[in-house]
């Protein structure tokens, strides 16, 4: 837990100063900046239509995109280890992710400008995010979270019903909803599930995907603005990209993945002086010394099939243009 960042967030929130924040998965390298000081040559963002750039109207060049996902053998070894822990009762749901290599004629700037997503971020020419997943939003004292669990190729026959009727996806979704409900109960009262298993269609350069999410809400204390930092860090890391039970599952993730997620699966968002809106940093491309890396993954439960999960990891390697 970064105490300085928490104090900064509390100060800005308590004084109703708008700010942008970016927090990595481990919470070790958070970045917070008053909105008036965000340099658009360094950081570009869009949060549900609120942005510091002019949206591109149309593609100026055709996207060329090739990828090399994590080796199947490496993935299977990690998957089997996760299933051993699930069998021991150490975890009920674990989000297993890996980096893959990509090659594209688009720069990070191009990807940011032309992609279409709820949450977009280009951070210091280090990485770009185009995420469909809401982390938390506030409206007055109401706090809402929208965990996303359940993905399927929309072109499959009867895809919607297949997603809704999948025992594996249902078990995964019940688990994440219960986890987020417990997480919100740490910072809010009157926590309840308002919407269960909402399905939306996401367009990608490789086709369309179906994504399933639910809505959990609660009521924050009257003085919650003064404790925005405490609230955020009590909820981190996001349950949908870690698992349940959270603490033990995080240990297993380190053991199974054997790489540093960095900012991938962290969160970023905007506080406008009254309300907060934030997203989970999935759909993530990072610039490295060895080229561009695309990090992706999915939830593993006792009902998971290794081949299906590996395919889901690949399905999530896309750019939504």
pLDDT of residue 269: 97
User: What is the phi/psi pair of residue 110, to 5°?
Assistant: -60, -45
User: Is the pLDDT reported for residue 1 higher than 90?
Assistant: no
pLDDT of residue 7: 96
Asked whether residue 31 is domain-assigned, the answer is yes
Asked whether residue 105 is domain-assigned, the answer is yes
* pLDDT band at residue 56 under the 50/70/90 scheme: low
Asked whether residue 204 is domain-assigned, the answer is no
Tokens of 114: 């032309």
Q: Which residues of 70-81 are buried (b: 16+ CB within 10 A; e: fewer)?
A: beeeebeebbee
Rounded to two decimals, the pTM is 0.90
Q: In this predicted model, what pLDDT tens digit does every residue of 166-192 receive, in sequence order?
A: 777 777 788 888 899 999 999 999 999
Asked whether residue 156 is domain-assigned, the answer is no
Tokens of 255: 């053991």
* pLDDT band at residue 19 under the 50/70/90 scheme: very high
DSSP code at position 244 = E
To the nearest whole number, what is the mean pLDDT of the chain?
Answer: 91
pLDDT of residue 197: 80
Q: Please compute the mean of the pLDDT values over residues 6-12 and round it to a whole number.
A: 97
User: Is the pLDDT reported for residue 203 higher than 90?
Assistant: no
* pLDDT band at residue 81 under the 50/70/90 scheme: very high
Residue 272 to residues 2, 50, 141, 277, Cα–Cα distance (Å) = 22, 10, 14, 9
**108, HSE (Cβ side, Cα atoms, 13 Å):** 25
Asked whether residue 143 is domain-assigned, the answer is no
* pLDDT band at residue 62 under the 50/70/90 scheme: confident
User: Is the pLDDT reported for residue 78 higher than 70?
Assistant: yes
Residue 292 to residues 49, 94, 264, Cα–Cα distance (Å) = 27, 26, 14
Q: What is the CATH number of the domain that holds 14?
A: 3.60.120.10
Asked whether residue 115 is domain-assigned, the answer is yes
Compute the distance between CA of residue 128 and CA of residue 285 in angstroms, rounded to an integer: 5
Range of the domain at 267: 3-136+225-315
Q: In this predicted model, what pLDDT tens digit does every residue of 286-300 receive, in sequence order?
A: 999 999 999 999 999
DSSP code at position 281 = -
pLDDT of residue 61: 80
* pLDDT band at residue 46 under the 50/70/90 scheme: very high
Which is nearest to 149 in space by CA: 295, 300, 321, 302? 300
Number of domains present in the structure of the chain: 1
pLDDT of residue 176: 85
User: Is the pLDDT reported for residue 2 higher than 90?
Assistant: no
């Amino acid at each position: 837990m970064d105490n300085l960042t928490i104090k900064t967030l509390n100060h800005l929130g308590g004084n109703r100063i708008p700010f942008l924040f970016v927090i990595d998965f481990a919470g070790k390298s958070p970045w917070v900046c008053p909105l008036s000081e965000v340099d658009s040559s360094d950081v570009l963002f869009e949060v549900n239509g609120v942005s510091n750039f002019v949206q591109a109207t149309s593609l100026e060049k055709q996207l060329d995109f090739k990828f090399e996902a994590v080796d199947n053998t490496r993935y299977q070894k990690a998957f089997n280890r996760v299933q051993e822990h699930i069998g021991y009762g150490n975890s009920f749901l674990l989000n297993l992710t890996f980096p893959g290599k990509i090659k594209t004629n688009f720069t990070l700037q191009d990807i940011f400008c032309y992609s279409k997503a709820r949450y977009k971020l280009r951070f210091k020419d280090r990485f770009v995010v185009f995420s469909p997943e809401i982390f938390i939003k506030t409206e007055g004292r109401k706090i809402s979270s929208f965990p996303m669990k359940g993905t399927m190729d929309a072109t499959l026959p009867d895809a919607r019903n297949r997603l809704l009727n999948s025992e594996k996806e249902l078990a995964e979704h019940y688990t994440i909803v219960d986890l987020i409900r417990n997480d919100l109960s740490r910072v809010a009262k009157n926590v309840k599930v308002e919407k269960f298993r909402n399905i939306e269609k996401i367009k990608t350069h490789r086709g369309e995907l179906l994504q399933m999410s639910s809505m959990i809400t609660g009521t924050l204390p009257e003085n919650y603005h003064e404790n925005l930092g405490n609230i955020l860090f009590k909820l981190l890391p996001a349950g949908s990209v870690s698992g349940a039970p959270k603490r033990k599952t995080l240990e297993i993730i380190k053991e199974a993945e054997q790489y540093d997620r960095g900012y991938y699966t962290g969160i970023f968002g905007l506080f406008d002086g009254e309300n907060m809106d934030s997203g989970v940093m999935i759909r993530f491309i990072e610039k490295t010394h060895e080229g561009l890396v695309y990090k992706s993954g999915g939830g593993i439960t006792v009902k998971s099939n290794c081949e299906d999960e590996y395919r889901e990891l690949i399905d999530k390697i896309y750019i939504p243009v």
